[in-house]
Amino acid sequence: MFDRFQNSRNALGLIFMLPAALLLLLFLTYPLGLGVWLGFTDAKVGRPGEWIGFENYVFIATDSVTQLALFNTLFYTTIASVLKFFLGLWLALLLNRNLRFKSFFRAVILLPYIVPTALSAIAFWWLFDAQFSIISWVLVKLGIIDTYIDFLGSPWNARFSVIAANVWRGVPFVAITLLAGLQTISPSYYEASAIDGATPWQQFRYVTLPLLTPIIAVVMTFSVLFTFTDFQLIYVITRGGPLNATHLMATLSFQRAISGGALGEGAAISIAMVPFLLAAIMFSYFGLQRRVWQQGGGDK
Amino acid sequence: MASVTIQGVKKKFGATDILHGVDIDIADGTFTVLVGPSGCGKSTLLRMIAGLEEITGGEIRIGDKRVNDLPPKERDIAMVFQNYALYPHMTVRDNMAFALMLAKQDKATIDAKVARAAEILALGALLDRYPRQLSGGQRQRVAMGRAIVRDPQVFLFDEPLSNLDAKLRVAMRSEIKELHQRLKTTSIYVTHDQIEAMTMGDKIVVMRDGRIEQTGSPLELYDHPANQFVAGFIGSPSMNFLPGILRRSADGLRVELADGTQLDAPPQSSGVDGQPVIFGTRPEHLTLVPEGAAHGGIPSRVVVMEPSGMDTFVACRHEGVELSAVFRERHDFAPGSTIHLQPDMKTAHLFSVDTGQRLAA
Ligand SMILES: Nc1ncnc2c1ncn2[C@@H]1O[C@H](COP(=O)(O)OP(=O)(O)O)[C@@H](O)[C@H]1O
Ligand SMILES: [Mg+2]
């Protein structure tokens, strides 16, 4: 019995995995569990809550600010992810060419990603400032506009401004990951397809895109998750304003729970994000990631 | 189908000269093999014919069309790559149909052509599989199928068999040859393996360091190598080379080896009396001088015996020079013993020590 145990690779694997699994369990499930629990209570800062069932969820479902935050989050995530995808793909394709100073450009493109979010958010805050914005200044100097743009003053301006900041910050991750993906595609596929008569566009359509799909699925899943749960950029640039127009679920949750003291309600808003995140993961996992052609040999 | 004419073709990568002016005439419907050691520029030349590399100098014509500046798709060629380059995300059927689809042929035509190619190559049962689900030999066949569905003017093969195991390689060798006899499409085949070249080619082009050493039919190259390089490259086990001095006298031509051994040389060889030469003789052209016979032959010390059943390979050494012999009969020499090997005068060759060229009349 002991012998068999010793010889079993599975048992050994289990033993090696145990510490990591325990740690994960502890650090992942504890906060999540606490959040779920808080969502069902009327806890306030400094006061342990009592079980109130679905009351918080019923409230946020009818609360117009939460509804607006959900709309903002979906809008922000959709537009920003689409932009990040196309910009990232375009940059990756560009960097995959044999440019001069290739490694220099590859390093430069990572810069937005390296700068701490809070710092870049402050930079954007200045860029978008109503009086000192350099963007407005340049446009006025060029004679394209006469008055400074109030980037963060009106709801739609503010929404697009924070999206711009998020895209700027998120594109490097997408671009570099897709570039890595592009480099795994053997040049012989391009040669073979050139001989087969494909134009560059057809090569992109029939070779690059399908071979890149698995990586696109992974990177866009992460991108969507990060964007959906974004907090820092918004918190520094707009604090959710004006008129809650840029409040995301995460910032609203923080505002209600910490600033407003309503821990239970804040937790409920956070937990309400989970189904959306799960849906995104499921979509990418079942819809995009593993294709038959990637699976190993053997008969079907 | 078409002929291919390569005239004074040069290739530079940056400042490095890779091909130094290559001329080859490839007749319509023939199977031509480019062979040479690794790095000699065979693939580069083939890729220039395909349009995958730019032509630095000279001219390439397919049929009577100059193709120097045409992109690959306008050259009407098909290529089989060493790694096959099958599109991993397409089934066997789609891999083969891809070029036809790009050429906007209608579905019925595509299906018919794919079905025909699949039948020729016995791929019918595999059409819905992905490349990953195929064995090496099957992938190889799909790569050929992808080439033949297009019915191109010229097939280009770049070491298509080198990723296969030895047994499969032999089988595919004859399969490709048979396919060529059936389709009669002009084919250019690159390999570093001289056996592949010998067994498959109508015509062989031996290359070294970006130059052509010799062009000819397999047996021409075997029987009349132009120089010592070709002589040593073609044939396995390879030709023996013994340094010596040419002696011309009234009763014929001889080569005197360092230890004084006298060997009869082919009488029609050129060269002057006293000239240092290399005496070349193939392992199968050495015969054993019977024990105690009054002699002649090259005294050689046996190093290793390798009986293969069909024949006996003996590696020997004469005055520090490696010498190998192959006998149809079976022998059992003790390593370290001395045997005497008599070269066949008619099939021996003399090469100039300075230029490596064969000293022919
Ligand atoms: N893209 C390239 N850039 C620079 N040198 C190359 C390139 N491709 C091949 N070479 C060089 O050209 C020579 C011939 O290569 P190749 O044609 O692949 O040889 P082979 O006869 O083995 O097929 C080699 O020395 C190789 O290093
Ligand atoms: Mg090669």
pLDDT in tens, B278-307: 999 999 999 998 877 666 789 999 999 999
pLDDT score, position A299? 36
B133 and A297 within 8 Å at the Cβ level: the answer is: yes
Res. A294: pLDDT tops 70? no
CA distances to A253, B50, B162, B237 from B43, rounded to whole Å, are 64, 10, 13, 25
pLDDT for A2 equals 59
- In this prediction, residue A152 carries a pLDDT of 80
List CB contacts (< 8 A) between B134 and chain A. Answer: 297
Q: Count how many residues are written for chain B.
A: 361
Average pLDDT of span B113-123: 92
Q: What is the pLDDT of residue A3?
A: 63
Higher pLDDT, B258 or A114: B258
Which of B54, B87, B100, B101 would you mutate first to test chain A, the one with the most A CBs within 10 A? B87
Q: How far is A101 from chain B (nearest CA, A)?
A: 18
pLDDT at A126 over 90: no
What crossing angle do the helices spanning A30-39 and A263-282 adopt, rounded to 10°?
120
Q: Which domains does chain A have, with CATH numbers?
A: 40-294 (1.10.3720.10)
For residue A135, which amino acid is it?
I
Q: List phi, psi (to 5°) of B331.
A: -135, 160
Q: Report DSSP state, residue B357.
A: B
Give residues 164 to 193 of A whose Cβ lies within 8 Å of B: 186, 188-189, 191-193
Q: How far apart are alpha carbons A144 and A9 in whole angstroms?
A: 70
Residue A229: per-residue pLDDT: 92
Average pLDDT over residues B207-229: 95
Q: For position B355, what pLDDT does the model report?
A: 92
The answer to whether the CB atoms of B85 and A191 lie below 8 A apart is yes
Which range, of A113-127, A215-229, B55-69, averages the lowest pLDDT? A113-127
Using the predicted structure, report yes or no on whether residue A144 has a pLDDT greater than 50.
Answer: yes
| pLDDT for A300 | 34
Share of chain A above pLDDT 90, in %: 35
> Region A237-259: what's the mean pLDDT?
89
Exposure string of B84-113, with b = 16+ CB inside 10 Å and e = fewer, is: bbbbbbbbbbbbbbbbbbbeebeeeebeeb
Of A195, A297, A298, the CB nearest to B77: A195
* CA–CA dist B215, B231 (Å, integer): 13
From the CA of B41, give the closest atom in ligand 1.
17
> To test ligand 1's pocket by mutation, which of B9, B16, B17, B18 has the most ligand atoms within 8 angstroms of CB?
B18
Label residue B129 left, alpha or beta by phi (over 0 means left) and psi (-120 to 50 means alpha).
beta
pLDDT of B155 > 70? The answer is yes
Closest by Cα among A76, A283, A287, A94 to A176: A94
Q: Output the pLDDT for position B223.
A: 94
Confirm if B1 and B188 have CB atoms less than 8 A apart.
no
List pLDDT tens digits, range B344-356: 988 999 999 999 9
Which range, A142-146, A223-227, A261-265, is most confident? A223-227
pLDDT digits (tens, 9 = 90+) for A157-177: 899 989 998 999 899 999 999
B36, B214 contact by CB (below 8 A): no
pLDDT of A10 higher than 80? no
**H-helix or E-strand spanning residue A184:** none
Contact assignment for A206 to B98 by CB distance below 8 Å:
yes
Report the distance separating Cα A242 and Cα A157, nearest Å: 10
Least confident of A125-139, A259-273, B72-86, B158-172: A125-139
The predicted structure's pLDDT at residue A297: 41
Cα-based distances in Å from A39 to A44, A58, A67, A277, B7: 11, 11, 17, 18, 81
Chain-centroid distance, C-alpha A19: 29
Using the atom order of ligand 1, give the atom closest to the CA of residue B42. Answer: 21
- Kind and range of the H or E run holding B291: none
How many whole angstroms separate alpha carbon A262 and alpha carbon A268? 10
Atom of ligand 1 nearest to the CA of B11: 12
Nearest C-alpha of chain B: how many angstroms from A300? 8
- Distance from C-alpha of A92 to C-alpha of A244, rounded to nearest angstrom: 35
CA distance B214 to B206: 5
Q: Which strand (E) or helix (H) includes residue B82?
A: none
The phi and psi torsions of B230 (rounded to 5 degrees) equal -60, -40
Three-state SS at A111? helix
The whole-model pTM stands at: 0.84
Question: For ligand 1, atom 7, which residue shows the shortest CA distance?
Answer: B13
pLDDT at A296 over 60: no
For the segment A201-218, the average pLDDT, to the nearest whole number, is 92
Average pLDDT of the segment spanning A81-97? 93
User: What's the CA dihedral at B222, B226, B227, B229 to 10 degrees?
Assistant: -50
What is the average pLDDT value for chain B, to the nearest integer? 92
Would you state the pLDDT for residue A293?
66
